[in-house]
Amino acid sequence: MAKTVGDIGLLAQLTSAANNEQVAEPFRHLVPDAFPEAPAAETPHGPADLFTDFMRGLGFKPGADDCLMVADQVSMAIKDRSTEE
C-alpha cells in the first residue's frame, strides 16, 4: 500500500496523459511539471513556432527523448514527401 501511495503523483500524471488533460488540481503538488502552461505572450511567427506549440499541446517537453524521436519522424516524413513531388 505504501508504494501505491508513493506513486499517486505518477498515477495522476499517467491518467492525465491518457485523457489528454492537465493533471487534476488536487494532485498537481505531487507532479513537478503539472501546472498549466502559461498563456502565450504572442502569436507564433513561423512553422517552427507552430510545430513547437503543437508538440507542447500534445504534452511533449522540449528536449525530451520522446519529443525528439517524434520530431525526427515528422521531419523524415516531410522530407520523403517533398522528394516524391
Q: Quick one: pLDDT at residue 69? A: 92
pLDDT tens digits for range 62-75: 888 999 999 999 99
Residue 12 CB contacts under 8 Å (≥ 6 apart), including other chains:
23, 24, 27, 30, 31, 34
Q: Residue 62: what pLDDT?
A: 83
Closest Cα partner for 22 from 57, 62, 68? 57
Residues contacting residue 56 through CB under 8 Å, at least 6 positions apart: 37, 62
Per-residue model confidence as pLDDT tens digits over 27-70? 777 777 656 666 666 666 788 888 888 899 999 988 889 999 99
Per-residue pLDDT for 85 more than 70? no
| DSSP secondary structure letter of residue 85 | -
Q: Where are the domains of the chain?
A: 1-36, 40-85
Q: Specify the pTM.
A: 0.42
